[in-house]
Amino acid sequence: MEEMMRRRLLCVVAAVGLALASVARCDPQVPCYFIFGDSLVDNGNNNYIVSLARANYPPYGIDFAGGPSGRFTNGLTTVDVIAQLLGFDNFIPPFAATGGDQLLGGANFASAAAGIRAETGQQLGGRIPFAGQVQNYQTAVQTLVNILGDQDTASDHLSRCIFSVGMGSNDYLNNYFMPAFYNTGSRYTPAQYAGALIADYRRYLQVLYNYGARKVVLIGVGQVGCSPNELARYSADGATCVSRIDSAIQIFNRGLVGLVDEFNALPGAHFTFINAFNIFQDILANAASYGFTVTNAGCCGVGRNNGQVTCLPYQAPCANRDQHIFWDAFHPSEAANIIVGRRSYRADSPNDVYPMDISTLASI
């Protein structure tokens, strides 16, 4: 612990000394970062599978240094921001395009259209559900054991890493509230459905824990009922969020808080919850103070709220992207992602996280 503090102090001193010349290069706060999720954080895994849920074409990535990459936004995702704040020199690579020694620094297993339930998002074609992402992580762990020489060394390495899981949005957007393709909305009450999702979620988290995950961030589902697509479909005035969707999501989010408490009773476990719903609610309620002028329409899209059809290949997006909370029919803009990422890393409000933010988790 003293050595860690000494290195961080040296980094601060170096940063101050080189402030006018360059950015000081320091070790990241944790050795690796593993990411599980859906299109909110997918950075290219779906590029390698047959799926309608792909974003490796313009204008996606219009503000990203590498251009279109598979990120479902104009620039950075929330996990890109978190990786930067954790001190990584590079973004965490997609698992589909990484391997070997690169895995020592982590991997992004997220897949657009994926859900906790296996069937979620199936109308969009190929995707890697939560179970598949966990299986890919197990494969990665075996690679790490081979690289590091034995299981104990790999376990020690993994115990110091950050893991973030952001699943559940599609289980509502592309399952429960899509009766044309799924019957879950008629088979389950919102409470029953949330309970079923949490039961599956618990099972997959247990596997992650069994395979070395100790510092785990559960990212709650945001206000799906405020997305341009749901506003276009269900909101009479195109501006009022769809309460029946957001109410159902909040039941699920409360279940995630319960999982944090459960897993924190296990030896060495440090689990925490990021209240993305609360953060997004604050952004929407105080949009002007964050510099946003458009809260209910995508910067790129087609139809009502630019939300009936998502951003098409080579479509011209809006010019004022930093003033839009949403980039397309479903996904936040880089400007919104930066706010969410920063508040996940260092909470602005006690309501942002439970029981700690990512910066605190990294320091444990």
Catalogue the active-site residues. 39, 328, 331
Within 13 Å and on the Cβ side, how many CA atoms surround 145?
Answer: 12
Please say whether the beta carbons of 33 and 140 come within 8 A. Answer: no
At a CB cut-off of 8 Å and minimum separation 6, what does 315 contact?
Answer: 59, 300, 302
Q: Under DSSP, is residue 142 helix (H, G, I), strand (E, B) or coil?
A: helix
If you write DSSP's letter for every residue of 267-296 in order, what string do you get? TT-EEEEE-HHHHHHHHHHTGGGGT-SEEE
Closest alpha carbon to 215 in 175, 168, 176, 160: 160
Report the DSSP pairing between strands 353-354 and 309-310: unpaired
Please say whether the beta carbons of 335 and 320 come within 8 A. Answer: no
Is the bond into 313 cis (omega within 30 degrees of 0)? no
C-alpha 39: how far from chain center: 8
Torsion of CA 197, 42, 230, 302, to 10 degrees: -160
